[in-house]
Amino acid sequence: MKQILHYSPTSLADASAYLTKNAGSKAIAGGTELYYSLKQNNLPSEPTILVDLKSIPNLDYITESGGVLKIGPLTKLAEIANSTTVQTNYRALAQAAGAVASPVIRNMGTIAGNITQDVWCWYYRGTDNLYNCLRKGGVICYATAGDNRWYHSIFGGPKGCNAIHPSDTATALSALNASVVTTKQTLTMDNFFYNLAPGNTLAQGELITEIDVPTPAAGSKSAFVKLANRNSIDFALANAAVWYTPASGAVTSCKIYLGGVFQVPYHATAAETALKGQTISATTAATVGTAAVSAATPMTGNSFKKQLASIAVQRALLA
């Protein structure tokens, strides 16, 4: 492991300026993603300096006012999962944060880190950059002919990459219509994610300053369901987050997203169309679940994920 310098900024402005000035620098918060990658030596380019955002005060908070839930970027996943406010009005987010990895990682990992983590694929993440895949500048996606059982797309591979985005909270935040506030702009979740490494639109030196979630209308409901090989630690084989209103009666408005099945959170618009005007029932859930994966084009080894994603949607609707 190469030696890496460490910088402790005093403010977001300081951190942003330092990162902008030093091309080889990279921000670090909880470190559960970055330290793993450094140890595996699988980053496309290894940072020479780590800018530790933990040294900046007041970046971890959860407040609700003016119809908006404001979450500080360094708020721990465990804090979000255990927040009564989040549990009450933003259930899908609390469930998603509580479903991430393990208690140890939830106690270290931050919300900003969880949505900015890189895509997952065991070729792309191979130790010592063993596989020079498309995403790393190579000429083939090794997953296409190789083993694509677990963490690969079922909705095709933009630019030939079949990796998936592993975040649980990103799926929930997308369904809850959240916005990501950065040092330069405010982005919807859809705009935040973008089909290029590292998976979002943040420029060098651009930092997340807050995540804003509009308070759902009274009478609406949200839920998140994760399906994974093991009931903790593992990334989702498929996850689903739904938000709809009203909770009882014919649905007039809804958002449905899938995670772990595409390079970014997958907006299941066909499922939303199928749900609108319907009352929640097992039959409706099954129809909507089927619609959610109607556009799926599974790879050679992961057709089962189509079933899992469909079931995740069904269970989220009925939860």
Partner 1 sequence: MSLQGPPYRLVGQWAGVRLEAPARISGQFKLGADWNLPNQAYLKVKLSTIPSGTIASMDASAARAMPGVLAVVTPSDVQNNAAWSKIKVGTYPLLPYDRIRHAGEVIAAVVAEDPYVAEEACQAINVTYNPSPFVLAPEDAIASSAPLVNPPASNESATVTYKFGDAATAMTQPGITQLSSRYESALIQHNNIMPHAFTISVDTTGRVEMYTATQASKTHASDLATALGVSASRVRVYSLSSDGGFGDKGDAGGGYTAFPPEILAAILSQQLGRPVHHRWTHEENLLVSLHRSKVVFYITTGYNSSGTVMALTAQGYGTGSPYTSSSSNASGALNNFIWTYKFPNFTLNGNDGHANTYRQGPMRNPASPHPAWALSSHLDMVAAALGINPVTMMQANNMYTQGDKDQLTGYRIISIGQPDCLNRVLTLSGFMSKWKAFNKSTPLTGVVHGIGIANHATGNGGTAAAETGAIMMAADGSFNILIDNNSVGGGGRERNIIIAAEALGLPLGMVTMDNGDTDCGIDTGNTVGSGATKHVGDVIGLACLDAKSQMLARAATLLNTTTDKLTYALDGTMQIYVTATPTQSVTFAQLGGYPRIVGRGTMTLPPSTTGRVYNSAVSEVDVDTDTGLVTVTDVYQVEDIGQKIFNSGCDTQMKSGILMALGMALQEEQWPDVPTGMQLMTSHLDIKNPLVTQMPNMVVDFIQNPELPPDSYNFGAKGMGEPPINPSVPATANAIYNAVGARIYNLPMTCDKILKALGKA
Q: For the chain, how many residues are written?
A: 319
Of 73 and 109, which CB lies nearer to partner 1 in the complex structure? Answer: 109
Q: Residue 120 CB, nearest distance to partner 1 (Å)? A: 9
Of 21 and 39, which CB lies nearer to partner 1 in the complex structure? Answer: 39
Q: Is 139 in the site for partner 1 (CB under 8 A)?
A: no
Distance CA 96, CA 184 (A): 27
Positive or negative torsion for Cα 294, 308, 107, 122: negative
Task: Judge contact between 85 and 62, C-beta under 8 A.
Answer: yes
Q: Which of residues 250-309 bind partner 1 (CB under 8 A)?
A: 301-304, 306-308
The torsion angle over the Cα atoms of residues 214, 218, 220 and 226, rounded to 10 degrees, is 50
Q: What is the DSSP string of 145-166?
A: HS--SSSB-SS--GGG--BB--
Q: Is 76 in the site for partner 1 (CB under 8 A)?
A: no
Q: Which of 128, 137, 139, 218 binds partner 1 (CB under 8 A)?
A: 128
Task: Judge contact between 215 and 89, C-beta under 8 A.
Answer: yes
Q: Residue 269 CB, nearest distance to partner 1 (Å)? A: 23
Q: Residue 307 CB, nearest distance to partner 1 (Å)? A: 5
- φ/ψ of 166, rounded to 5, equals -90, 0
Q: Residue 152 CB, nearest distance to partner 1 (Å)? A: 12
Q: Which of 136, 149, 184, 276 binds partner 1 (CB under 8 A)?
A: 149
Q: Which of 23, 104, 145, 247 binds partner 1 (CB under 8 A)?
A: 145
Q: Is 311 in the site for partner 1 (CB under 8 A)?
A: yes
Of 252 and 303, which CB lies nearer to partner 1 in the complex structure? Answer: 303
Q: Which two tokens stand for residue 155?
A: 């909705």
Task: Judge contact between 9 and 18, C-beta under 8 A.
Answer: yes
Q: Residue 29 CB, nearest distance to partner 1 (Å)? A: 20
Q: Which of residues 206-235 bind partner 1 (CB under 8 A)?
A: 227, 229-235
Neighbours of 244 (CB within 10 A): 25
Q: Where are the beta strands (DSSP E) in the chain?
A: 5-7, 25-28, 49-52, 62-65, 68-71, 179-182, 186-188, 208-214, 221-227, 238-245, 253-259, 266-267
Task: List the x/- string, 24-63, binding to partner 1 by CB under 8 A.
Answer: ----------------xx----------------------
The torsion angle over the Cα atoms of residues 285, 289, 291 and 293, rounded to 10 degrees, is 180
Number of residues near partner 1 (by CB under 8 A): 33
Of 97 and 133, which CB lies nearer to partner 1 in the complex structure? Answer: 133
Residues making contact with partner 1 (CB under 8 A): 1-2, 40-41, 122-123, 126-128, 130-131, 142, 145-147, 149, 227, 229-235, 237, 301-304, 306-308, 311
